[in-house]
Amino acid sequence: MNKKELTEADIRTKFITPALVGPNGDKWGVMTQVREEVYFTKGRVIVRGKAVKRGEPKKADYILYYKPGMPLAVIEAKDNNHAGAGMQQALDYAEILDIPFAYSSNGDGFLEHDRTATSGAVEREFALDAFPSSADLWARYCTAKGYTATQTAIATQDYYDDGSNKVPRYYQLIAINRTVEAIARGENRILLVMATGTGKTYTAFQIIWRLWKSGAKKRILFLVDRNILADQTKINDFKPFGKAMTKITNRTIDTAFEIYLCLYQAVTGTEEEQNIYKQFSPDFFDLIVVDECHRGSAADDAAWRKVLEYFSSATQIGLTATPKETKEVSNIEYFGEPIYTYSLKRRRTCYRRDLARVRSARPRHGSQDPRTARSQRPGRPSCKRSVFQHRVPMQWKNIPALKPVRASYPASTRRPRQLVTDNCNTRAHLPAL
């Protein structure tokens, strides 16, 4: 067999995968720890009239997991005509996915880059049969982090799995793992910045679930600022907590539960007797998660901020899409620098459709340039604004201007996301990625 004639797929099958599994099959479990050709972004959807195409997706040849949801290594494979050519790509993916070890291989051996190393050799080469096992690589990672046995138990607590094969997206995994590990190390103020629509509530659920199941946190308060958010959270993402969870209503406190959902307004007020949160002892909660923490809780003199200060001994996690930084209000001053930021710009690069391409959709009435489209509806004033400046509540299925765009999307696409359109009287709802 001439290695030089083998394709990259042949190199993976005949040399790299056997090296990972080991001669006795005890290094990495191919069914539970090894994933090949992992697409972690789908690429932007670009719409041009009725034509739809995606941008270039990102795909890792191998991702190795210590446990589900806990990636340890990324491997980039190349054919045997390339030596070390895949390392830069592996490093790029390792940085995006927050993976500590990056490898490249052409079937002759492995080149390793240790992203946890702070001194000494960062890269090394070794033979195929010398690839470290999952236990060895995890031990190296724990040593680099300085974990104790107790901290390791918290950091390795399983994710919630309902059997539906739903797994967090890569940026959610990073946010969850970084937060759990930070709390395991003893950090008590944590800020997560994640763009709107990236699943902050689901991310919060997995964080709370792992900390609750590991026993690190036993009583948890989830604070929101709108009633509908508390209700949706209770019946959707937080449903697995079952009878251990309650929502504080009617200004009534029951200390028999472990997971509490409530509005800021439901436990605070202008009068002292309305501040029912003081019916809890200051050390009652181990963990408080603050949704939309850029709102009232960010200001020093806000009533909502007093709730956080009252439970100051609890670990507090702030979730926001838009951290607030002014002379009077600062999220960072209270929570510290974000432990992870997944911005709207980055989300657009990875997933979001190229909205500007929707400009090809024209209003039914007339043939105006959509950037200066005017209202044509009877009884409504005419207006002239720049493209993408208006958000008017309408169902996208009723918008003639977007019929070409609607027709280009398959019926099986998932829940809608708001799209600001060219016409000042329209709002489209196109399927989210």
Q: Which residues pair with 46 in a beta bridge?
A: 53, 354
pLDDT in tens, 98-110: 999 999 999 999 9
The larger pLDDT score, comparing residue 181 to residue 42, is at 181
CB of 274 closer than 8 Å to CB of 251: yes
Place of tokens 């043939």: 367
Q: Which residue has the higher pLDDT, 348 or 48?
A: 48
Split at pLDDT 50, 70, 90, the class of 419 is very low
Tell which wins on pLDDT, 151 or 358: 151
Tens-place pLDDT, residues 114-150: 999 888 889 999 999 999 999 999 999 999 999 999 9
Decide if 291 contacts 317 (C-beta within 8 A). Answer: no
Cα separation, 368 vs 374, in Å, equals 8
For residue 390, the model assigns a pLDDT of 40
Task: Specify whether the CB–CB gap between 256 and 284 falls below 8 A.
Answer: no
Most confident of 39-53, 247-261, 282-296: 247-261
- pLDDT of residue 206 exceeding 70: yes
C-alpha to C-alpha distance for 390 and 410, rounded to whole angstroms: 26
Long-range contacts of 64-68 (CB under 8 A, 24+ apart): 64/20, 64/28, 64/33, 64/34, 64/35, 64/134, 64/137, 65/32, 65/33, 65/34, 65/35, 66/33, 66/134, 66/137, 66/138, 66/141, 66/156, 67/156, 67/158, 68/32, 68/158, 68/159, 68/161, 68/167
Domains of the chain: 3-145 (3.90.1570.30), 159-347 (3.40.50.300), 353-431 (no CATH)
DSSP tag of 345: H
Q: How far apart are the two ends of the chain, measured CA to CA in Å?
A: 44
Is pLDDT larger for residue 87 or for residue 432?
Answer: 87
DSSP helix/strand/coil, 327: coil
Contact 84, 113 (CB under 8 A): no
Q: What is the DSSP string of 113-172?
A: EETT-SSS--EEEEEGGGPPPHHHHHHHHHHHHT--HHHHHHHTPPPP--SS-----HHH
What's the rounded Cα separation, in Å, for the pair 330 and 333? 5
Task: Give residue 158's pLDDT band: very low, low, confident or very high (50, 70, 90).
Answer: very high
Please name which of 278, 283, 282, 310 lies closest in space to residue 297, comparing C-alpha atoms.
310
Reply yes or no on whether the pLDDT at 414 is more than 50. Answer: no
Residue type, 131: F
Residue 300 has pLDDT above 70, yes or no: no
Kind of pairing between the strands at 101-105 and 109-114 = antiparallel
| Tokens, residue 286 | 């181990």
Task: Count each helix (H run) and each strand (E run) in the chain, helices first.
Answer: 13, 17
Asked whether residue 374 carries a pLDDT value surpassing 60, the answer given is no
Structure tokens at 160: 């919630």
Report how far residue 182's alpha carbon sits from residue 238's, in angstroms, rounded to the nearest whole number. Answer: 22
Pick the more confident residue, 63 or 388. Answer: 63
Q: Which of 82, 67, 75 is nearest to 128 (CA)?
A: 75
User: What percentage of the chain reaches a pLDDT higher than 70?
Assistant: 75
pLDDT for residue 239 is more than 50: yes
Tokens 């009583």, located at residue? 219
Please, which pLDDT band fits residue 432 given cuts at 50, 70 and 90?
very low
Handedness of CA 59, 65, 71, 74 (dihedral sign): negative
Which tokens hold the place of 387? Answer: 């493209």
pLDDT at residue 200 is higher than 60? yes
- C-alpha to C-alpha distance for 106 and 89, rounded to whole angstroms: 14
Q: What are phi and psi of 113, to 5 degrees?
A: -125, 120
Q: What is the pLDDT of residue 424?
A: 39
33/378: higher pLDDT: 33
The alpha carbon of residue 84 and the mean position of all alpha carbons in its chain are separated, in whole angstroms, by: 31
